[in-house]
Structure 1
């Protein structure tokens, strides 16, 4: 006998109706979806049984520009009604397959030096259907036949391609078209996510009702948001966490105007000196041991490996950014695994346009045009539009530190709905949380670095579950 209160019982008629509707939709695309289905993925765990799909979606016929995706159905009793979430990694130039899917929040983790997979019991597929997109073009398995595309990459270009991808993907998988849709990501996805959300919001207003995307909101972790506040936060975090001396901090404060995109030479010298000190530890998780493997991956020269060289002082004003979230050990594992012939064949990634899969494409970072210095106006617009927005921050990250993110959130000038408080997980403080009027929530994750789902997988899943289901994070142990 079911004694569950009526308000908590699942609506089985709705579930059955939606499932039948999904089957009807699948009839129109069964061939395309079957061709995407991943079977015999090398080293895939037998239990639990996971249904996943991967392949290419063309986003530009003229240049034969195609983006690669890896999609996992939700592991729940009713996956047919669970929301759809697209995950984007940053860089720009780093792979959502190598990081998000295979190292952080996907159902599989690459282990044993890239020779094995294990099930990730804290995967976000427990709460949602997860779609991982390698974006922009030139990242991972995504490719273009026109080299000029790689010279024109900027935030607008990337958002347009991601939107076109979604339109075509929904045409191939129409059973997900009516689902609640969310965008998620980390690092430079602090630009990607809100810009894609804004584009969807604007297009939805002019598209026919049957063509709209059912966007409900986005969630971003340790996101680059505003150049002034993020850079100010980097400096203050380094000083407050004993990375740099008082004298260096005072010198930088005295000479740096973070409102300007072109810094003075004394500011450049001070900031370069600060990053030199960060070479001694892992800037992305300042309390974690530094990986000591001899990495040969493409990102090895960026903060984390021994051969890092800071940018020339004269180039600093260009707001050069190092790969966000780089971890040389996990990068090595991912590169070894995804370059296996049998793995690429199983994932339908056998195109000759990508001779070697890399976790990060250094050339993209070098040529990317950083034309947007602040996402705060976009946040204001989307908050007024009623979207649900969460910003979370691992508080041990020195690259996009919690201090800068707090400055960004406070700069929006929103009224506080729920004061800063602790939230708990497994009888311990998981972090802090503040809720603002308009639907914005700011959450910290205690002890996590730049890659929160990697460093604190249980807490990250609890946070995501709260975001997706609208449940409050526990306020008591």
Structure 2
């Protein structure tokens, strides 16, 4: 039978309608995903073609808290078979969009002065579907209608919000429900990642099938893990890398009981001096130059804090911005210029509601965050017994959560060794790896 042009058009529309109906029946939220799709991101490189989505997910019944996400589909040949990785930056108070997505392992890097983007050839998007979340509420574009909630943030609160986010997000993007799911992050995400993993692990046992999350494990880099071992590592790293004198090292070692959350006055004095010495360089990358341009609004922010949090002197140690190794030390300035552009925010569907200015790090969160958990090692042990995979990696340039402390933490787990330590080679050159 010959079809006239109008009939061909009707036939085509019928096929499209049936396809959309089929996808809806499979649970795909086409309208929501289309509204999240990022089109015409300013300065985005033309190659390679990257499909990405961003928007908000409400995380509580009262509709007071909404967390902002940015999803990048994998660039691999078969993205539908690649895992889903949730990336979290630390702080508490620093943005996974500003750091993880646009500085470290996302597909785009912001160039100088926030005027252009370049493709990151080392992006994790080459291998996985990457989901970057600005958490907790108050970080980046994530907002709350109740400002009092920002005064009650702690690890448990953050983990529950992140869990509610994932359940709601997977309902919106159900094509990822069957994928292997991993949580990844760095620094204070050494708390965020295992605690979210524990919530998912526990809820998977009791929640209905629709809320099941296919969690396989978590990955943490230079992670804050255990106060005693991390603080011991800070002191030993500073001495072993010639940041402090033998005399200061011996004084701190003699007076500090890092197993106690309430340090003695001599210990406080000694450790304050250690951190004062670090102000002369970059504690997060001791071999990198410092940024000498005008400071960004995020300067004075600390990513991490351990020890006696009730001590004003202790909190002062941590009020420094985080610069990542291998990147321009003034990167935060560029990121804030880019993500505060009106055209960028519009493309990313980022509201100005409750977020007059996007910050790489929100200093106020650090000031009010309740640090109630001193060690993640019991959580590690529980999840290892539960069969989850855990990967801890640590670079040797970070003095704030140094490799020495991470080694103490791993050794404290008392695990059997399946493969002895070995040198790691890349391009026929040895690299130090832990």
Task: Specify the SS of the correspondent of 1:222.
Answer: strand
Q: Distance in 1 between matches of 2:317 and 2:426?
A: 37
- Counterparts of 1:92-241 in structure 2, within 5 Å, are 92-241=92-241
Structure 1 residues 324 and 422 mapped into 2: Cα distance closer, same or farther (>3 Å)? farther
1:325 CA drift (Å): 3.5
Gap change, CA 1:159 and 1:313, over 3 Å in 2 = closer
Deviation string, structure 1 residues 61-112 (Cα, Å, up to 9, x no partner): 3152000000000001100110000000000000000000000000000012
Which deviates more, 314-323 or 147-156? 314-323
Equivalent position of 1:253 in the other structure: 253
Contact 2:52 2:73 in 1 (8 A): yes
What is the CA deviation profile of residues 117-168 of structure 1, one whole-angstrom value per residue up to 9, with x for unaligned ones? 0000110000000000000000000000111210110000000000000000
Q: In structure 1, what is the equivalent of residue 340 of structure 2?
A: 339
Calculate the aligned-residue CA RMSD, in Å: 2.2
How do residues 5-44 of structure 1 correspond to structure 2 at under 5 angstroms? 28-44=28-44
Kept in 2: contact 1:268–1:313 (CA 8 A): no
Q: Which residue number corresponds to residue 457 of structure 1?
A: none
For residues 363-391 of structure 1, the C-alpha deviation after alignment (integer angstroms, 9 at most, x for no partner) is 00000000000000000000000111000
Instruction: Name structure 1 gaps, 5 residues minimum.
Output: 1-19, 305-310, 433-443, 445-477
Match status 1:423 vs 2:424:
yes
The Cα shift of 1:26 comes to 7.0
Contact 1:90 1:323 in 2 (8 A): no
1:42–1:342: 8 Å Cα contact kept in structure 2? yes
- What's the CA shift for 1:294? 1.5
For 2:400, the equivalent position in structure 1 comes to 399
* Aligned pair partner of 1:315 in 305, 312, 315: 312
Q: Is the 8 A contact 1:108 1:117 kept in 2?
A: yes
CA distance in 2, matches of 1:317, 1:106: 33
CA contact (8 A) 1:282 1:288 kept: yes
Q: Hey, what's the Cα distance between the residues in 1 that align with 2:53 and 2:310?
A: 46
In 1: Cα distance, 2:228 partner to 2:271 partner: 14
TM-score by length of 1: 0.82
Give the corresponding residue for 2:62: 62
- CA drift at 1:283: 0.7
CA distance in 2, matches of 1:27, 1:195: 29
TM-score, length-scaled by structure 2: 0.90
Residues 1:225 and 1:321: Cα distance change in structure 2 (over 3 Å): farther
Q: Aligned partners of 2:381, 2:393: CA distance in 1, in Å?
A: 17
After TM superposition, the structure 1 stretch with the greater mean CA deviation from structure 2, 57-66 or 387-396, is: 57-66
Could you tell me how far apart the structure 2 residues matched to 1:26 and 1:293 are? 53
SS of corresponding position for 2:421: strand
**Structure-2 separation of matches of 1:25 and 1:239:** 62
Residue 263 of structure 1 corresponds to 263
Q: Write the deviation string for residues 257-281 of structure 1: whole angstroms up to 9, x where unpaired.
A: 1011111111111111111111111
1:444-470 Cα deviation digits (max 9, x unpaired): 3xxxxxxxxxxxxxxxxxxxxxxxxxx
Q: Distance in 1 between matches of 2:26 and 2:283?
A: 46
Are residues 291 and 79 of structure 1, via their aligned partners in 2, closer, same or farther at CA, if it must alter by over 3 Å?
same
- Cα deviation code 1:390-423 (max 9, x no counterpart): 0000111101000000000000111111111112
Q: 1:323 to 1:412 in 2, by over 3 A?
A: farther
Deviates more, 1:345-354 or 1:211-220: 345-354
- 1:27 CA displacement: 6.8
Distance 2:294 2:103 in 1: 19
Alignment: residue pair count: 407
CA contact (8 A) 1:72 1:129 kept: yes
CA distance in 1, matches of 2:267, 2:418: 38
Distance 2:28 2:235 in 1: 55
SS in 2 for 1:69: strand
In the alignment, what sits opposite 1:352? 353
Q: CA contact under 8 A between 1:67 and 1:134: conserved in structure 2?
A: yes
CA shift, 1:296, in A, is 2.6
**What is the SS of the residue equivalent to 1:235?**
helix
1:186–1:222 CA contact under 8 A, matched in 2: yes
Question: Contact 1:91/1:324 (CA < 8 Å) preserved in 2?
Answer: no
